Structure 1
Amino acid sequence: MSVMEISRAQASKDINSYIADHPDHLFYDKSARTYVMGSAFKPHYLVLDAGEYLGSLEAIANGVPIANSDWIVETPAILHLSLPTRGLVPAIVRTVVRACTQRRRLEICYQSMSSEAPSRRKIEPYALAHDGFRWHARAFCVRDQMFKDFVLSRILEAKPNDEAKTDPSEDTDWLETIILRIAPHPDLSSSQRRIVELDYDMTDGTAELAVRKCLLFYNLKRLGLDTRPDIRAAQDQHIILRNADEVFAALGRKAP
């Protein structure tokens, strides 16, 4: 009644109509004084997605407003990893976002890890990407004449310049998709391999992940697939990459 803003009579009519259409799916528990699922219940009007549901629970626990949260009535205590806070300057983030949406060139001062001191350069950002830990601006670098990732927290200054001149559709690494074929580590026992298959929603011992090429390096690192599979014990590194040669060739490297 509260969520749908309907009367008690209408709510009762809708529930009884549902029970008539789907017998044994729902019944009234007199002791609990509420409707509960029956043993024959199965969804008819939506697709259940446990990952989406748990993501919603996490968002609620973090105080993030989400759509249709009124339907979630049971919220257990939730913990998540404590990760370092990234030093994002709101004014710089706002400038980068505006440049993306308004297609503007920026003059930035940027500290890369490949040089000892910050450098000034011009970039044309058009999108944002998150690697699981850090936010990046995907942009055309005028100095290097190529599309690159710029970590937002490493942009020390940013000010708008001229209109952007490049076309984002020319960023082939953003558009190209690489397929990662993962499988359980062969050194695991049959029972362990089976649970890994369930853990990663594998079919016939394999799962395929479609990854944008510009995020390929980060995906491999996050999954522990950026090194040889024998570097760590199978009990620590549960999965391997079946098409390693193909994947690392996309990075211009040989498979480790």
Structure 2
Amino acid sequence: MSKIAVVAAQTPEAQAALADLQRRYGTCSPDAAEVIVALGGDGFMLRTLHRYLRHELPVYGMKLGTIGFLMNQYRPEDLPERIARAQPAPLRPLQMEAQNEAGGTISALAFNEVSLLRQTKQAAHVRVDLNGATKVPELICDGVIVATAAGSTAYNLSAHGPILPFGSNMLALTPISPFRPRRWRGAILPATVDVRFEILDPYKRPVSATADSNEVRDVIDVRIRESSEQTMTLLFDPEHNLEERILDEQFTF
């Protein structure tokens, strides 16, 4: 049996499940573990991926929260056997480098998406460059998203962006409430592309950038690319794997 570490959200339900699993399986700390079990919803799963990134351990999630797209069903029985037959789903995060008005540069990772959002009632004005070439000279919008395949069913989908098949090595570039160009609805990009957003008129029309839950205010320049160094692996029950889940989302009405 693999050495299991269990981490849980602070909800009463998740904490009760944590205590139960610790009694059943004699769990250990993440520093001594071979696999991490995360109890909660998708938000807690994202926090777990960020918190334990340096451990480079696979993470098996069980849903004990509102949304559980990245989680398996919660069942306390036969946990070691479920983990042993689980299918791996490697996630490679986005690397964001955001420069703010003060001249600082902040780096952050995103497993779901990097989103730029206007900070005031005025629309953001953004120039979009791909691999050093300008593709949209001026995007007037409430914001813009770059989403991974795993994150394409989250904020990206609510902004009418495309659902990307897992393993497609593609990213979704999706504007939020675009005003100009009027008919532009975004693009599907190869994961190797270097995306740059330059904020036009940042003092009059301030913009924030958020990598998953890490927000940077008053940005003037944001660069995004897939990380070449970092990766995390999620584990899914064979009957309910991530690839099938993403495919099913395309047929949900």
Q: Could you say which TM-score interval applies, normalised by the shorter chain?
A: under 0.3
What TM-score results when the alignment is normalised by the length of structure 2?
0.27
What TM-score results when the alignment is normalised by the length of structure 1?
0.27
Higher normalized strand content (fraction of residues): 2
| Larger relative contact order (CA 8 Å, sep ≥ 6) | 2
Higher normalized helix content (fraction of residues): 1
